[in-house]
Chain A
Amino acid sequence: MAKLKVFSDEWCNAWADKIRESKEFPIHNKGWEGDIGCCISKDPKANLPEDKYLYVNFFDGKVLDVRMADKETAENTKFVISGEYIRWKQVARGELDAVKAMMQGKLKLKGNLPYVVKYVKGVQETIKCLVALDSEFPDD
């Protein structure tokens, strides 16, 4: 099976499907309300000439939406996480823990921190699903 091109619709859908398949996600996301915007800074040297924006929305253990979006949409979500492409790539490959990345300032979080901490296991499960995808990155 062909690899999924990162930032494509297929890649977004595959991630959403993976989360839906997870038995852990509905347990640890139960009660969650809120959308998340992921802002990925451009990196022309890594074959990423433009900034990318990803929109993710969960509600009470269910996946409502995972799609590419525009800047305005991503930046007007309940939680905004932004950072360099290389950091996002490390997270998506399981090479960098997302919580550690935020603590070390490699990814920036805007939004209600206590809420994220309360649902940290759910957050980690979504990343686990992302890492499980057979992804092809722009600079691969």
Chain B
Amino acid sequence: MGGNHNRFLEIDLSARSTAVTSIDPALFSAFIGGSTLAARLFLDTLDVKRDPLSPDSSLFIMTGPLTGTSFPGSSRFVMCARSPLTGIWGESASGGTFGAELKRAGFDGVIIRGKSTHPCVITVEDQNAAIVDAGDLWGKDTYETIDILRKRGGEERPARVLAIGPAGEHLVKFANVCNDKAHYIGRTGMGAVLGSKRIKAITCRGTGTVPVASEENFRNVRKAALEEIKNSLMSRTFHELGTAAAMELGMTTGDVPIKNWSVGVDYAMGLALGGTAVAEKMLKKRVACYACPIACKPVVVVDDPKYGIAEGPGPEYETLGSFGTMIMNDNIYAVARVNDLCNRLGVETITGGATIAFIMEMYEKGLLTRDDLDGLDMTWGNIDAAIVLVKKIAYREGFGDRAAEGSRALARSIGGEALDCVVEVKGLEPPMHDPRGFHGMGLAYMNSNRGACHLQHSDQAIEMGMVSWNEVGLKDDYPGPVSEGKAEMVYIGENIGQMANSVCVCHFVHWCMGLTNLLDGLNAVTGYGFSLDDFMEAGKRSWVLKRAINNLFGVTAKDDRLPKRILTPLAEGAAEGIIPDMKLMKREYYRIRGLNDEGFPKPELLDSLGLGFIKERLYG
């Protein structure tokens, strides 16, 4: 079987045991890999009463069939568990080299259960694994931890390392996992899940290969995909300006959220925090993930007396938004500084920045006082106060303990008007893309199976016009601030996005190479011989499976909604005066997706996708 070893490393921390297991091979072609295969395996032991941070909860680290091959963008892997932040399905993917290394070590994934009595490190090396005590690492930040573990390897080729920081140790609900001091498993709080199991880090070294069904086909497809990427302006944009280019471009389209989603445009701030500012003021070089021809990751040095940082990962667009425009801070050096701090402490920057923006609004409205905030002056733009608060969050000190629960929990604890100001869907704060500028993105936020997200689908690329995939029925051009006709676009975009997350390929590289190359790459590696219809059907299966899991967690139609703030018109910018028609899009979408009025997949839909076995659990 190409693309997989059918070997999973199962670790029971309570029993301090490891085992290698395999699954029914048919599950690979049906559920592909990545977060989808994780969801299918997760379902087998799902107990909806189990707390996400309880010892019995399961954590999956999964690769996909392309991970570890030399196919462009095949660096990706994913961590999946019930999210401590949202209480529903959680998944968060990352690039770098860890995924490829895990696959080359002979494992398609790692499944972790139980809880260690002491802080530990899991080491994986060429088909073997061990649980090692790591009490000396507990309390250290992510960079220190990774440096120590890489040095301990003591060989020419250091291990790849995933590590949590103090935030994960203190079970901050949006703690991230640092991946080789350069990449992050950010969303949905997987760092807290690791912390709850007392896992400080996971190291991996692999020297094997990934089986490929047809080497010749693979070579040809890879060549075609690389050529397409080379000719793509999007690829050039990502390389020359990184994701931060979305700041300047987004200001013209109403994409960038400002002042906790209450202001429509600020061109000066866009220029101060955009891709050109990163390139001109701090960029040292760009680096690439494994098998990536684009190289979009910024490595920066900030030479500033107050906010200076040593060479390290620079802020991506999302962080420039969350700790920039969202909190009215136009000092790009300060964003780089807080980004570096979050990286080291293990705080996810979207939820982190969005929660702080919400706190600033509460402070402005008098719903949180200086007394509540341990004396901090959380005035808009006060980045120094934000920096202090990030540290308090990571260690759950004082008010940081409340903020560490995320913005939804904080808003509920404040109550009243706070509930109108908090911006989240299913407990997850949206990324920095305003649905008033792109209504389809709003619908995608409503439906996303991990809460508001821009990477559970391909709608960003489609609706913003970065791609044009007519072969699956998409149009060339979708005007952003329009709701009509968006349900079908989102439906198709979700099915494609789910496949990118199953196959485990970088969305950016995938957008640049196109849909056909991705399908051909999957077929060359696995030998499945999927048609485009098969490919889309598998994406559909993935979305419906995760939706069913969320239904078991209690998600219903009432949870598919946009927050009040997003349904409030902006006074300026490209989306001035226009809001998404949530009811229209939801009605159309439910019909197309095959959900009943309660938001459950209809029994016939489950049957048609080979998911009939869930019916009894869903419908009793």
Residues of A with Cβ closer than 8 Å to B?
28, 95-97, 99-100, 102-106, 108-109, 113-115, 117-118, 120-121, 124
Q: With A113-B233, A114-B241, A114-B275 as given contacts, are A121 and B267 in contact (CB-CB < 8 Å)?
A: yes
Residue pairs across A and B with Cβ atoms less than 8 A apart, 13 shown, are: A100-B464, A102-B233, A103-B465, A104-B465, A104-B466, A113-B233, A113-B241, A114-B245, A114-B276, A117-B249, A117-B276, A118-B276, A121-B248
Q: Which of B241, B248, B465, B477 contacts A95 (CB 8 A)?
A: B477
B2 to chain A minimum Cβ distance, whole angstroms, is: 31
Question: Do A97 and B271 touch (CB < 8 A)?
Answer: no
A100 CA / B232 CA spacing, docked (Å): 12
Give the B interface residue count (CB, 8 A). Answer: 26
Identify which of A99, A109, A118 gathers the most chain B CB atoms within 10 Å of its CB.
Answer: A118
Q: With A96-B477, A100-B465, A105-B233 as given contacts, are A120 and B275 in contact (CB-CB < 8 Å)?
A: no
Q: Which of B233, B245, B252 contacts A109 (CB 8 A)?
A: B233
Which chain A residues lie closer than 8 Å to B241 at the CB level?
Answer: 113-114, 117
Question: Nearest CB to that of B244 among chain A residues?
Answer: A117
Question: Do B245 and A117 touch (CB < 8 A)?
Answer: yes
Q: Is B236 an interface residue (CB 8 A)?
A: yes
Question: Nearest CB to that of B234 among chain A residues?
Answer: A103
Residues of B with Cβ closer than 8 Å to A?
231-234, 236-237, 240-241, 245, 248-249, 251-252, 267, 271, 274-276, 279, 464-468, 476-477
A42 CA / B381 CA spacing, docked (Å): 53
Which chain A residues lie closer than 8 Å to B467 at the CB level?
Answer: 103-104
Question: Do A97 and B465 touch (CB < 8 A)?
Answer: yes
A53 CA / B582 CA spacing, docked (Å): 46
A102-B233, A113-B240 are known contacts; what are 17 more A-B pairs with Cβ within 8 Å?
A: A96-B476, A100-B464, A103-B237, A103-B465, A103-B466, A104-B465, A104-B466, A105-B232, A105-B233, A109-B233, A113-B233, A114-B240, A114-B275, A115-B276, A117-B241, A117-B245, A117-B249
Q: Secondary structure of the A side of the interface?
A: helix
A63 to chain B minimum Cβ distance, whole angstroms, is: 20
A44 to chain B minimum Cβ distance, whole angstroms, is: 24
Q: Which of B236, B237, B245, B466 contacts A100 (CB 8 A)?
A: B466
A99 CA / B464 CA spacing, docked (Å): 10
Question: Do A114 and B279 touch (CB < 8 A)?
Answer: yes
Which chain A residues lie closer than 8 Å to B466 at the CB level?
Answer: 100, 103-104
Which chain B residues lie closer than 8 Å to A120 at the CB level?
Answer: 248-249, 252
A109 CA / B464 CA spacing, docked (Å): 18
Question: Do A113 and B248 touch (CB < 8 A)?
Answer: no
Question: Do B477 and A97 touch (CB < 8 A)?
Answer: yes
Q: With A96-B477, A104-B476 as given contacts, are A117 and B275 in contact (CB-CB < 8 Å)?
A: yes
Which chain B residues lie closer than 8 Å to A100 at the CB level?
Answer: 464-466, 477
A96 CA / B231 CA spacing, docked (Å): 20
Question: Do A117 and B477 touch (CB < 8 A)?
Answer: no
Which chain B residues lie closer than 8 Å to A117 at the CB level?
Answer: 237, 241, 245, 248-249, 274-276
Which chain B residues lie closer than 8 Å to A102 at the CB level?
Answer: 233
